Structure 1
Amino acid sequence: MKTPVKMVIVAALAAAVIGAVALKKGKAPSENNGGTAAPGATVAGGGLAKAAPASTGKLPKLLDLGAGKCIPCKMMKPILDDLKANHADQFITEFIDVWENPDAGKKYGIEMIPTQIFYNAEGKELFRHTGFYGKEDILGKWKEFGVDVSRGKVATGIVRETPVAADTRPRDSVCFMCDGNVNPMTKTVVKGQSDQHVFCGPHCYFIYFSSIVGADAKAVDAKVSVSDWAGGQLIPATTATYLYGMDAKGRPTIKAFADQDAATKEQKTSPGNLLAWDVLRSKELATRCAFCDRAVYPEDACGVKFGNTHGHGCCTHCSMGVAARLKQDIEVEAKDGLTGEIIRVKTLDGQIASIEPKTAIAWFGQKKGADGKWVSAGCFKQGFFVDEGNLQKWLEARPAMTGRQISIAQVLSDKMKLTPEQIAKACKLGECK
Structure 2
Amino acid sequence: MANDKRYSVVIAGGGSTFTPGFVLNLIQNEDKFPLRKLKFYDNDAERQKKIGDACAIIIKERAPHIEFEYTTDPKEAFTDVDFVMGSIRVGKYKMRSLDEKIPLRYGVNGQETTGPGGMAYGLRSIPAILQIIDWMEEYSPNAWMINYSNTIAIVAEACRRFRPNSKVINICDMPIDIMTRMAQICGLKDFHDIDFNYYGLNHFGWWKEVRDKKTGKDLMPELKKYVAKDGYWVGGDFDKDTEASWEETFKKAADCYALEPETLPNTYMQYYYFPQYEVKNANPEHTRTDEILEYRQKIVFGECKRIVEEGTAKNNMWDRNAVHSEYIVDICHAIAYNTHEKFLANIPNNGAIANMDPDSIVEVPCYFGADGVQPMATGMAGRFQRGMMMEQQTCEKLVVDAYEQKSYDKMLQAFALNKTVPDASVAKKILDDMIPVNKPYWPDLK
TM-score range, shorter chain: under 0.3
Length-normalised TM-score, structure 2? 0.21
Length-normalised TM-score, structure 1? 0.21
* Greater helix share, structure number: 2
- Higher Cα Rg: structure 1 or 2? 1
* Greater strand share, structure number: 1
